[in-house]
Each structure stands twice: as C-alpha cells, then as structure tokens.
Structure 1
Amino acid sequence: MTDTLSRLHPALREVLVSTLRWDEFRSVQEEALLAYGREMDLLILAPTAGGKTESAFLPALHDLLTARTPGIGILYLSPAKALINDQYLRITHITAPLGLEVSAWHGDVQRSDRIWHEDEPPHILLTTPESLELLLMDPKRRRAFLQLRSVIVDEVHTFAGSARGVQLRCLIERLDHLCTRRIQRIALSATVGNPEALLAWFSGHDRTGACIRAESPPSARRFSFLIEASEDERIRLLAGVVANKKTLLFTGSRSEAERVHAALSQYVASALVHHSAVSPDARRAAEEEMAGSGPACIVCTSTLELGIDIGALDLVVQYGPPDSVASFLQRLGRSGRRKRPPEMVFLLANGEEALLAAAAVRAAREK
C-alpha cells in the first residue's frame, strides 16, 4: 500500500491510516487511483461489497483536496434514493475528519435539510438525475456547480438503454457546458458482459476511458426452481422457503409486491414490504429490520436490488422470472456474503416462466 498511499493528499492519507485503520488497498482501488490521474473516464466493475465506492471516491477526494476549489466538487448520482442514504453514511466516515461537507438531496430528505446558503454549498452532493435536473433549473443553485471536478454515477448499468439513461447523459453534458470544460466521469457497475459498450455509452464522443475490473475467483451458486400454478399454493410454498431465514423476495411490480406481502403475512410474522411508493419511514423500518439479528423477509421491487447494505442474507427469492439478465445478477449478488455461496430460489407459475428464468441463468453464465 505504501507507493499508492504516498501519492494521496496528506490529509486523506492520515484518515485512511489513522482513523479507518486501512493497511492495504484492493487491486481495483489501486488501479482507479492510477487511472484517475490520466484524466480518463472510468468504468469500475466489481460485485457488491467489492470496493467500488471507495475506488471512485478516493481519487476524486484526493483531487478535490488538492484543488480546494469552492462550490460542489464531487457530484454522486444514483438511480435509487435508498442507495443514496446508504452511501451517505459510508462516505461521511471518510469525509467528516477531512472537514468536507456532504449533502443528500432527494424527495425523502426533509426540505429543511435540502437548503444551503447561496455561498455555502456542500463539497459533495449525493442526488438522483431527477433532482439534479431541478437544481440545474434554479440559477442560484446552478452556480454551485461551476467548479465541479468529478461526476460519479453508481449502478450505471441500470441507466443504459433507457429513457432515464438519456436524461442522465444529457445532464452530464449540460454540466460540461456549464463548467466550460470536461469534468472527470466515473461510473460504477456490477459485472456486465459488455463493459466496453457500456463505457462508450457513458463517455460519449471524443473522450477516452478505461474499464477497471475487480477480479473475483469463480464461486459456486445455488438455484432452486419451484413451479406451482396456484398462487395460493405458491404463497404456502414461499412461507416454508423463507421461514426462520433472512430473505429478500423480489417481485416484478409494486402491486405484485403488495399482493404477495398481504398473502405472505398470514403465514410469516416478520414479512415486510419495500418499494418506491412506500413511505420513507416504512422503508427505513424494513431496512433496519433486515439489518437486525433475527429472521426477516422483505417483499420488494428493484428498490433493494442495488448496492444498499442490508447485512448478511440467507436467501434471495425471485417471484416470477427476472426481467433482465442484469437485474438477475444484481439480485443474486445480494446473497453470498460471509463466505457462503449465493443462493436464489425461483418461485414460478408455469413452464414458460421457468424457461425465462433458466435462460437468464444461462445468459449470465455465458456473459
């Protein structure tokens, strides 16, 4: 760690060694620190808990501390509010001793906490593309981005190929235009089969970029396929599968999550629900229950698909087939911590759904 550490700003180096007690970097973090200095856009690929967040923020923080420009220096964009809340806690462990202010800005944050004085914006802003668009429409808020140095986009694969991804790209281009220079772009993603194409989409025209991958050894994965035409019987099967376990149960929609949760609650006392229409307090209560020591089953949509830390899971259940290979991989990656192999149970209504689920598994295996 000595050579890489010696290149960092002294204050950041002190926090890592003395406060956080780091004694080494992961390979993906070392590569990111080296590549950032070459002024290239970066796509950092690593599994959940693979060190992606630090790989992006360490070089960006070094650059911010060195430059000491006013205004917002680092902008973090996330597809999910829950992920912002989780990353806020993680990032402030590093930034608080450095005297850098971090603010989260989205609909679940109290309005009083989303206000900064015109001449005192945070050094680091965590938000969604939708909230960023609102900020850029306000002339006073827009000025806070004039000295922006880095844009970090988390779970970038969830944006690619969608209307929301077009919005994201347009916003980043607007920031370049606002600052009259090219801002360093860093994208974080779970492992995908076409990283070069993803980087090209993220970077755009006339920019250079690099893919940085966290190498992980192949590991065993466990899959079970349960097929039952009757939904009542599927719920009874489900109750037996999740009993006395810590489980995330993914559904295809909010309405399906509510329906499954209502039915499962008749059999499982610790069943909770989590999706974008649930109140912030209820979502936080579900996340806290999952982080506790006892059994719990959260019926959710993609709101818990992303990298929010919900502790050690026993199992992931997919209710119906996944809607994409990327989604399947993201959900599978939520399990398999603490040296246990990832495990997913598919609960399916018929042979067609089983074929779609098996196809997702095979497509992921063949990248």
Structure 2
Amino acid sequence: MSEYKRFKTKQISVGGVKIGGDAPISVQSMLFTKTQDIQGCLEQLMQLKFAGADIVRLACLDIKDARALRQIKEQSPLPLIVDIHFNHNLALYCAEFIDGIRINPGNIGGKENIKAVVDACKQRKIPIRIGVNHGSLEKQFEIKHGRSVEALIQSALYNIKLLEDLDYTEIKISIKTSDVQSTIEAYTKLRNLCEYPFHLGVTEAGTKFHSTIKSSIALGNLLLNGIGDTLRVSMTGELCEEIKVAKAILQDSGVQKSGVNIISCPTCGRIQSDLLSAIKIVEEKTKDIKAPLNISVMGCAVNALGEAKGADVAIAFGKNEGLVIKRGEIVAKCKYDKLVDRFLEEVKIEAALWENK
C-alpha cells in the first residue's frame, strides 16, 4: 500500500479548530434552521456536536439574523462561521464575535467594501473562506469561459488576489459544483496554484442517497490524492447524516482513522446465524468509540479466519456457536446467544487500551 501524502498548506484557525498544515481534516455542516430561531439553532448545534462535527456555518440574510447570531455564538458548543452575500455591513457586524466568515469577494460590493471587511477580520485574525460556486459565478468569468472549470479557477484566483492585495492571507478556498467530475477537476487544477487550505464539497448534492454517492466519489478521489483540509457533505435536510457520511469517507478512504471500521461479509447461503441482527447490534454499540479499530463480523468459516488475522477483534460465526478472535488468536468460543456480548467486551477493552496510550 502506497504512503498517503497530503499537500502541505498554510494553516489557519477557526475558533479552536486548526485547518491546513498537519492539522486533522475537520468536518463541517450548515444549519437549516432560520438564524433568528435562536433556540432551534442551539438545538441543532448540540445535535451536530454529538454527531462529531468540528465547525458549523449559519446563514446571515439581514441585521436581525446577525443580532441573533451574536446570541447563538455566546452559547454555541462549536466554532461558528457566518455565510454572507451582497451586504458587507453584515460582515463588519459579525466580525466582532464570529469565528470565520464565508464570502464571495466578487459579490460583496467593490474594493472599498472588501477592504472594510478585511480590516475588520484583521483585528481578530478571523479567517475568510472564498466560496466559488458554479451557480453564482461572476459575470466576467462566465462570459469569457462559460460555466466551465476554467471559469471557476479564474474566479478563485481573482478573489484570492483581491485579499492578498490587501495583505490578508488568513484564507481558505472552496470551489464547488454539483457535478462530480468538474468538482474533482477544479480542485485538482487549483491545488498547484495556491497554498491555502481547501474546503471540499459537492454543492447541491441532493438527498441522502445521491449526496452520499456523489460526495464519496468526489471527496474520496481528492482526499486520496492528498487534496483537502476540511470538508462538508451537503445533503438536503439531513443534518447529522452529513457528519456520519463525512467521517465514513475519511475513515474508509484510509486518510484519517477515527472510530471502528466494521468488516462484514455479504449474506449468502453458507451463513448459519442471524448475521444481520448481529451487525445491527455491533454498529449501535460501537458507534461512539473513537479508537481506530478494525473489527470483523463474519457469518461462516470460509473467510472468517482469514479476515480475523487482520482485525483487532473478530467474530467467526458457526452453527449455534462461534469464535471471538483477537489479532488472529482465538480468545473465546461461545454459544450464539453469548457470542456478540463477549465480542463487544473485547472491543471495549481494545478501545480503552487505545485511549490510555
């Protein structure tokens, strides 16, 4: 297996979360509750915290949103980024308390407005995310290049230069489309043209099923090629599922180990146990484990012993009984009704050992 190498990028901080450099790849989401609904936003923030999110973004459409956001920030369990378009005064207000600002400098209203926002961000070293999106390209780039990858790249470079000319480099970049191939191409081509950390995502990716597929292909491809410092899996109306899928992409790509990796066999006629029920129990009981363990739950002896050699803890089901195996060594032989509980005991022991290292 080849060694994973990530592009070295400038490191910035969003609240207490570092992005870029050698920092872990962070996972983000965005609230869909209206920002003026302070209690609703706080409830969603707690859900995201328990799901494992690192950073959360909120929309800010007007001054009422901005004032509500100040109150939300005072109670938020996670760093917050404000999403602002067209009205630079909202960015100036939020810069007093927020952890990061997402703007498109091209639609914020001229160089004087951009300079005002940058000056406000400089006071607290607040990072700015330049968000380039297929659906909101500046006219000059769309006229010259059409709705192409080149248009996206030129927009990103233009907006980066706007901030660099104002001597501001606390920047991260997103360059999103709703198409998998163009998303991969845009991020890949831009990666060699700047040093700033990248926020990965497929925008407007759709419902849970379609978003999972699109994001897994695009983000997985980029991550395996060393591209990406923070990411969001965008889903229609699925808040915590965004985090679950994002973490699975990091885990299953092998880029960033966190939590258990469950190896289980496809069901077939050789199985002599209720493998599906066993897997559901194992998934539920191990979902909060942070240790990067490989655990194997196999339904028959054909592949079970071979898989167990590469697993930290494994089950090999047989007829009415099975084996619990740790790193290739049998540690228990149990009747079916005791097997999963015995297996989970060993998983918890391994997780505790990892946490106490």
Q: Which of the pair has the greater relative contact order for Cα pairs under 8 Å at 6+ separation?
A: 1
Same fold (TM over 0.5): no
TM-score normalised to structure 1 length = 0.28
Pair member with larger Rg: 2
